[in-house]
Amino acid sequence: MELANLSVLLVWGAATALAIGFIAFAVDLSRLSGAKVDARDAARSRAKVAVGAGVEDAPVDAPVDDAGPAAPVSRKLAGIGMSVTWLAAALLLIAIVLRGIAAGRTPWANMYEFALVGTFVAVAVFVGVNTRRDVRFLGAFVAGLGVLFLVLAQEKFFVAAMGVQPALQKYWLVLHVGVAIVATGIFTVAFVTSVLQLLRDARDNGSAMLGSRRWGWLDHTATPGALESLSFRLNSVAFVLWTFTLIGGAIWAEDAWGRYWGWDPKEVWSFIVWVVYAAYLHARTTRGWSGSRAAWFVVAGYACVLFNFTGVNLIFNGKHSYSGL
């Protein structure tokens, strides 16, 4: 079997592993939510019994917190989710390496390869952060996005493994594009964190829709403040990398095309991404923007990142347009 074909099979294997992880994480959150509801119902039943027995200070509508801790729920499914996510990361890494060997170059020279490596970085950041703190509640969302990105890459962006044009045969392909991919992967995990922050904050503030039982799994995520802090740290790292991406791109452009800046669509939108995240970091650190306002800034920034990757490449013609699509 050719290395390129083996790489494709491994990508599908990674997508399958992430799909299994998504299911495991989702069911784990559902079980946690169900356990909390059962504990609340049990507390109310005990309160009614106490009232019937003449214990007047036992409120019928006592919240679960007043009835003592609920019985621990097995997190075996979360463990399975982490295991298959690690497996997916390993399979995807091997697939990327084989793709590079088959093409005889660095394996991130087109949209297909960018999607593969970006997904790997996002998954790697998730499992890496989880080694320092328990963020398994992010697993369903990171794994779900990973499956989506890999399937889109295979079905819509796939190109055969081959060499690149002479203009791209520079070490800047490794540095400029590689750093951009790492930044995009980190932005992805930060985006997921901010979306969860918005949902948890809305539930805590009494949202009619998110206050229902079906959204009870949100109670088992981190607090909005903790989610915001994690998102801020991730975005700070990614922003530094994106800044290097702009600087490196300008230096490479001068070497390849004889100018540092030419208002190419990719250059413009990369700068827009930088401005949005710079505004977010500035507003949060110096203007006191926090909570949902900061989270919506992150969502807007990531929307720009996605458009920069897809819309700019597929809609506009420019010097950065990928070949083979």
Q: How do residues 170-203 score in pLDDT, each as one tens digit?
A: 777 788 999 999 999 999 999 999 999 999 999 9
Q: How far is it, in rounded angstroms, from Cα 317 to Cα 264?
A: 9
Selected residue with higher pLDDT from 101 and 290? 101
Query: In this structure, which amino acid lies at residue 179?
Result: V
Q: How far is it, in rounded angstroms, from Cα 201 to Cα 193?
A: 12
- Indicate the average pLDDT of the chain: 86
The answer to whether 115 touches 314, Cβ cutoff 8 Å, is no
pLDDT of residue 36: 53
pLDDT tens sequence across 297-316: 999 999 999 999 988 888 87
DSSP per-residue letters across 235-274: HHHHHHHHHHHHHHHHHHHHHHHS-S----HHHHHHHHHH
Query: In this structure, which amino acid lies at residue 1?
Result: M
- What is the mean predicted confidence (pLDDT) over 115-143? 97
Express as a percent the part of the chain with pLDDT over 90. 61
Helix or strand run (H / E) with residue 201: helix 178-204
Q: Who's near 85: CB < 8 A, 6+ residues apart?
A: 17, 18, 21, 123, 126, 127, 139, 142, 143
What pTM was computed for the model? 0.87
Say how many residues make up the chain: 325
